[in-house]
Amino acid sequence: MSELTLQVTGMNCASCVASVERAVSNMEFVASVAVNLPLEKARIVLKPSADLNAKNQCIEAINNAGFKATEPAPTPLLRERHKTDLKAHFSKVTLAFALSIPVFVLSMVLDDFGTSDGLNARLVLAFLAALPVYLWSGAEFHRNAWASLRRRTANMDVLVHLGTTVAMLWSSAVTFAPLFSWSPKFILQSTHVFFDGAAFIVTFVLLGNYLEARAKLKATDAVHHLMEMQPNEAWVVLEIGGTEARRVEDIAMNTLIKILPGETVPLDGRVEEHTALVDESSMTGESYPVRKEEGDEVVAGTVILDGTLYVRTTALVGDTMLSKVIRLVDEAQLGKAPIQRLVDRVASVFVPVVVVAAVGAATLWWLFAESLAPNSEMEPIEMAVMVLVSTLVIACPCALGLATPTALVVGTGRGAAYGLLIKGIEALERAHATSVVVLDKTGTITAGTPRVSHIELLNSDVRELLGIASALELESTHPLAHAVHTSWSNVTDKRPVVSDVRTLPGQGLVGAMDGVPVAIGTYELMSALVNELPDDLEQNVIKRAKRGVTIMLVSKGQVLLGWIEASDRIRETSAPAIKRLKQSGISVIMLTGDREETALTVAESVGIDTVVAGVKPDEKAEHIRELQLQSEVVAMVGDGINDAAALTLADVGLAMGAGSQIALESADIVLVRNDLADAVAALELGRATMTRIRTNLAWAFAYNIIGIPLAMGLLYPWTGWLLPPAFAAAAMSLSSVSVVSNSLLLRWWQPSSVLR
């Protein structure tokens, strides 16, 4: 299947989202569609049967539904458009407020001050002040409402249009009825008008939309700042000497570039000359600069502080870590949680139900107002109009549509600022419910850079043992292989040729050298390959394993040559991170292929009580499955190829950023900083984001549960409370703004100071 992303404008509530999704999902070649309201984007997954014209057909379907679909514009350009639109929007809001205030004074405060040709001068002036607000400031609502009705759907604009139109028509009829002899008696006798309601409905909804648009712009700040970190040009070192400024898009891999103090690294690369402090906070959230020397890697978006670096590029502009971060964040923000899908289904039928309820309530008051509200100063028809307008306006489902996506946009952006790359909202939703965290040992709890600490020789010399070990480990990408190669290179540069190398998962490697079998691996492997092993070998292996070192035995033919001991440094943040997980009520399990003695030593030093050792790669996923069968929500943290299956199967897979590519692709969350503390921070961010989403939805639903009955007048017979249209509009706008503002509180989220 292939995906395409489209920019969709003209949406303003959850009903619009449902309309766009319905228009696209009805096409036979579309597998799924997810629409994000704050980002105004639609991500469409196409079936294999889709042809080359699928994109144009999707655009046409969305346009026919009354919206505007285009191919996504570059984010900086889109941001500038939004800023321009905001200025125009502000002009409408300003005019609407400037006219609504005198409308309110004329309609509700001043007494009548005379008539002219039978017309009440006060009401005529109120009409003249309200008309520009209704026609010009509210023009967008009216156009969108008719477009929605033509496609046989109903959205927020329909409610605003109906509410303001009913208010204007009734008030105009009352104002100008004296001019017509055939005017109905109940209109001629009416004294209440709702010009102020119509004007304030448009004004408050426009104000709410303006504040929402500003907040949504702030919500996307994180991704925008990431994009701004990519320089447009770099200094390329020429073969003839000197440098030349060149666009980063035109720079090939393996190009030598020069980066001056204060400049941003334009492309991922490896330092070839000089040394400098590098500020990596923009990519990892790490506040302290890191010293980069010859051979060290630097990534695009980081800043050189105190020296000039010559860097050999290792990635094209579209393949840098920065580009991958931007893509991951962008894709995550387009995701849709199961809880939001439920909201969208509710919203798709919400508006028609509200219209029916509003008409029903208005009819009820028209017919029975005298018995339900005998002391009211308003006529039954006047109360019916007020109920109809207030109910239509207060029920706009804007808050429902914004509750989830705004929190997601802010949460994923905030995570990216701290090196936590969340691939989708499903990962966040599961992260907050995590009950068990399963940790790999090497590269997760430990630094993943083991070094040879001791070599025990039995029937060999150092050169032969290390030569055979290094030749076999050429087939491996495990961190232990790197330790063996480093040790070998320090002793000799002669490596024997080993053929037919095979990997035995969880045990080691075997091959043939000049027709003689050779092997490196565990005690269990040697027991199967070598007929006679030293009597005290197992005790020696256990004894050393209890020190926390990993033992690699080496054999040639039927002779055990000796063994290599490798030790790995435990990360400084591992123990605090595990302690915080346990304080949060989360169980921690170590799952490793290493010997039990080694695993227990490491586990004891970091505070892990449950250890499963000697696990083969294919068995890791089975252990995850067993935990899930016990109704546990399992998060798996790993970094290597042997963790890929477990990362995929886990409810939440977290991969160390320096791990293998397959592990990164299998995980739900990528930890750029390669630190276990960030795994804990990612789970805490998931909880924080889901808390915002749930409080947003609770507020949105509570607002409707309280506001709609109040507007319908259901409480009037007992309390005397009836919501005027202007107050209904203010409450509706306030609900949307409060939801977005609540989401923006995530902008101040940061990992616990204990972890940092």
Q: Is residue 37 part of a domain?
A: yes
What does the pLDDT read at residue 131?
92
Looking at residue 302, which CATH number applies to its domain? 2.70.150.10
Q: Is residue 268 part of a domain?
A: yes
Q: Mean per-residue pLDDT for 584-596?
A: 87
Please check whether residues 577 and 674 belong to one and the same domain.
yes
Domain termination residue (choose one: 567, 582, 603): 567
Ranking 59-68, 417-426, 463-472 by mean pLDDT, the lowest is 417-426
Domain termination residue (choose one: 523, 550, 567): 567
Alpha-carbon distances, residue 651 vs 314, 467, 663 (angstroms): 34, 42, 15
Looking at residue 636, which CATH number applies to its domain? 3.40.50.1000
pLDDT at position 324 over 60: yes
**pLDDT tens per residue, range 646-677:** 888 888 888 886 555 655 666 788 887 778 88
**Confidence at 533, pLDDT banded by 50, 70, 90:** confident
Residue 498: which residues within 8 A CB-CB, separation 6 or more?
468, 471, 472, 474, 511, 512, 513, 518
Please write down the HEC assignment for all residues of 53-106: CHHHHHHHHHHHCCCEEECCCCHHHHHHHHHHHHHHHHHHHHHHHHHHHHHHHH
Please check whether residues 94 and 140 belong to one and the same domain.
yes
Domain termination residue (choose one: 288, 319, 350): 319
What does the pLDDT read at residue 350?
74
**pLDDT tens per residue, range 146-187:** 877 777 776 677 778 888 888 888 888 888 888 887 777 777
Strand-strand pairing, 297-298 and 269-273 = antiparallel
Of 440, 594, 643, 678, the catalytic one is: 440
Please name which of 657, 58, 31, 39 lies closest in space to residue 332, comparing C-alpha atoms.
Answer: 39
Q: Is residue 753 part of a domain?
A: no
Q: Is residue 324 part of a domain?
A: no
Range of the domain at 22: 2-72
**Confidence at 554, pLDDT banded by 50, 70, 90:** very high
What does the pLDDT read at residue 323?
75
What does the pLDDT read at residue 216?
64
Q: Mean per-residue pLDDT for 247-256?
A: 87
Please check whether residues 350 and 393 belong to one and the same domain.
yes
The single-letter DSSP state of residue 27 is S
Alpha-carbon distances, residue 458 vs 359, 487, 529, 662 (angstroms): 94, 18, 17, 38
**pLDDT tens per residue, range 693-739:** 888 888 878 887 888 888 888 877 777 777 777 777 777 777 777 88
What does the pLDDT read at residue 227?
67
Residue owning tokens 């709609």: 708
Residue 322: which residues within 8 A CB-CB, separation 6 or more?
226, 229, 230, 268, 283, 299, 300, 301
What does the pLDDT read at residue 348?
65
Q: If you average pLDDT over every residue of the chain, what do you get? A: 82
**Confidence at 108, pLDDT banded by 50, 70, 90:** confident
What does the pLDDT read at residue 83?
80
Q: Mean per-residue pLDDT for 95-114?
A: 82
pTM for this entry: 0.67
Please check whether residues 360 and 385 belong to one and the same domain.
yes
Q: Is 440 a catalytic residue?
A: yes
List the structure tokens of 514: 């000049």
**pLDDT tens per residue, range 278-320:** 887 666 555 568 888 888 888 888 888 888 889 998 888 877 7
Q: Return the percentage of the chain with pLDDT > 70, whole number.
A: 89
Please check whether residues 162 and 106 belong to one and the same domain.
yes
Please check whether residues 91 and 188 belong to one and the same domain.
yes
Looking at residue 27, which CATH number applies to its domain? 3.30.70.100
DSSP string of 554-610? EEETTEEEEEEEEE-PBPTTHHHHHHHHHHTT-EEEEE-SS-HHHHHHHHHHHT--E
- The three-class DSSP label of residue 31 is strand
Contact at 8 Å (CB) between 632 and 586? Answer: no
pLDDT at position 89 over 80: yes
Q: Is residue 414 part of a domain?
A: no
- What's the number of domains the chain is made of? 5
Q: Which secondary structure element, helix H or strand E, spans residue 2, and what is its range? A: strand 2-9
Summarize the chain as % helix, strand, coil (round to 5).
55, 20, 30
Please check whether residues 488 and 595 belong to one and the same domain.
no
Beta bridge partners of 313: 269
Please check whether residues 563 and 674 belong to one and the same domain.
no
What does the pLDDT read at residue 219?
59
DSSP string of 247-286? EGGGPPTT-EEEE-TTPBP-S-EEEEE--EEEE-HHHH--
Q: How many angstroms separate the CA atoms of 573 and 562, rounded?
A: 35
Alpha-carbon distances, residue 378 vs 117, 192, 561 (angstroms): 26, 7, 103
- Terminal-to-terminal C-alpha distance of the chain: 41
Contact at 8 Å (CB) between 299 and 283? Answer: yes
What does the pLDDT read at residue 588?
93
List the structure tokens of 449: 């850079």
Q: How many angstroms separate the CA atoms of 269 and 235, rounded?
A: 14
The single-letter DSSP state of residue 336 is -
The single-letter DSSP state of residue 178 is G
Name all contacts of 568-572 with Cβ < 8 Å and 24+ positions apart. 568/442, 568/446, 568/447, 568/448, 568/449, 568/450, 568/451, 568/479, 569/446, 569/447, 569/449, 570/445, 570/446, 570/447, 570/602, 570/605, 570/606, 571/445, 571/446, 571/447, 571/675, 571/676
Ranking 15-19, 128-132, 529-533, 570-574 by mean pLDDT, the lowest is 15-19
Give ∠ CA 250-251-252 in degrees, rounded to 5: 115
Q: Mean per-residue pLDDT for 420-425?
A: 75
Please check whether residues 127 and 21 belong to one and the same domain.
no
The single-letter DSSP state of residue 446 is B
What does the pLDDT read at residue 87?
85
Q: How many angstroms separate the CA atoms of 63 and 269, rounded?
A: 44
Q: How many angstroms separate the CA atoms of 42 and 64, rounded?
A: 15
pLDDT at position 536 over 60: yes
Please check whether residues 205 and 294 belong to one and the same domain.
no
Q: Where are the alpha helices (DSSP H) in 105-220?
A: 121-132, 139-150, 156-176, 185-188, 195-219
**pLDDT tens per residue, range 669-703:** 888 777 888 889 988 988 898 888 888 888 878 88
CA 63 to centroid of chain Cα atoms: 27
Task: Considering only the C-alpha atoms of the chain, give the largest distance between any 2 of them, rounded to a whole number of Å.
Answer: 121
Q: Which residue has the higher pLDDT, 215 or 745?
A: 745
Q: Is residue 683 part of a domain?
A: no
Q: Is residue 749 part of a domain?
A: no
Looking at residue 476, which CATH number applies to its domain? 3.40.1110.10
Q: Sign of torsion, CA 161 163 169 175?
A: negative
Q: Return the percentage of the chain with pLDDT > 90, whole number.
A: 6
Residue owning tokens 């590098």: 278
Backbone angles phi, psi at 717, to 5 degrees: -60, -25
What does the pLDDT read at residue 480?
84
What does the pLDDT read at residue 396?
67
Please check whether residues 94 and 169 belong to one and the same domain.
yes
Q: Is residue 751 part of a domain?
A: no
Contact at 8 Å (CB) between 549 and 598? Answer: yes
pLDDT at position 481 over 80: yes
**Confidence at 338, pLDDT banded by 50, 70, 90:** low
Please check whether residues 490 and 540 belong to one and the same domain.
yes
